[in-house]
Amino acid sequence: MRTIVIATQNPGKVAELRALLAGLEIEVLGLADLSSRFDEPAEHGRTFEQNAAIKALAYAAMTGLACLADDSGLEVDALAGRPGVDSAYYAYPGEAEARQHPRNVRDPKNIERVLGELEGVPLEKRSARFVCCMALAQHDAVLATSRGCFEGRIGIPPRVPAGTHGFGYDPIFLVAPDFQYTSAELAPEEKNAISHRAHAARAIVDKVRALI
């Protein structure tokens, strides 16, 4: 194993993971670095772990290379853990409908739904976390998995949305323990040090190093 493909169509995730895995003596590619175009596999799992494995195995089969996939999303305690695995298309009837729109259209609509469902909930009861699960697959086997969390709260307008970094729900996610800044207001290097994806990446790096 000399090459790992970051198996996502999301350029923000590719950039974050490439930075987090920079310490490994291995070539790290994104799907856009490959000459072929790939259809996104359907994410029919009901846990982050299941969806990460589905994606890693599907892209490993399509590319013939080792693929590292993640599934991540937002869990809000006051919403009984929603949007959860539906985070990327929470404002839409389903994944297929959401994929007809670019992220810069989907993200504000998803944010609007979460804020609407939390209307009237006080800040101290808006606890939430980003969750990231990773899976590394080669051929038809999952070789390693990991999980990371990033604790915070969902802010209250007009304080949020705020910030220009990141993607998804970052502009409404106030970072624990002080809740002074949204994750979209953190510099990329600050977020990469403490994010759910950072925790999951650090947990899987040793496993990947052993494999290579």
Number of domains composing the chain: 1
Integer CA distances (angstroms), 200 to 20, 38, 69, 127, in order: 10, 25, 11, 20
* Residue 132 scores a pLDDT above 80: yes
* Residue 51 scores a pLDDT above 90: yes
Q: What is the pLDDT of residues 140-198, one digit of tens each?
A: 999 999 999 999 999 999 999 999 998 899 999 999 999 999 999 999 889 888 999 88
Give me the helix-helix angle, 196-211 and 11-20, nearest 10°.
60
* Residue 119 scores a pLDDT above 90: yes
Which is more confidently placed, 204 or 87? 87
Give the number of other Cβ atoms within 10 Å of residue 204's Cβ. 24
Integer CA distances (angstroms), 156 to 18, 25, 50, 173, 183, in order: 33, 43, 32, 10, 14
CATH number for the domain harbouring residue 148: 3.90.950.10
Looking at residue 85, what is its pLDDT? 95
For residue 69, list its beta bridge partners: 135
Query: What is the model's pTM?
Result: 0.87
Cα 22 from Cα 206, distance rounded (Å): 13
Cα 204 from Cα 212, distance rounded (Å): 13
Give the number of other Cβ atoms within 10 Å of residue 188's Cβ. 14
Asked whether 108 and 68 are in contact (CB, 8 A), the reply is no
Cα 155 from Cα 158, distance rounded (Å): 9
Which is more confidently placed, 193 or 50? 50
Q: Which residues are catalytic?
A: 71
* Residue 97 scores a pLDDT above 90: no
SS3 26: coil
Asked whether 144 and 155 are in contact (CB, 8 A), the reply is no
Token output for 101:
């729109």
* Residue 13 scores a pLDDT above 80: no
Expressed as residue numbers, the domain containing 64 is 3-211
DSSP-assigned letter for residue 130 = E
Closest CA to 1 of 66, 56, 60, 53: 66
Mean pLDDT of 53-71: 95
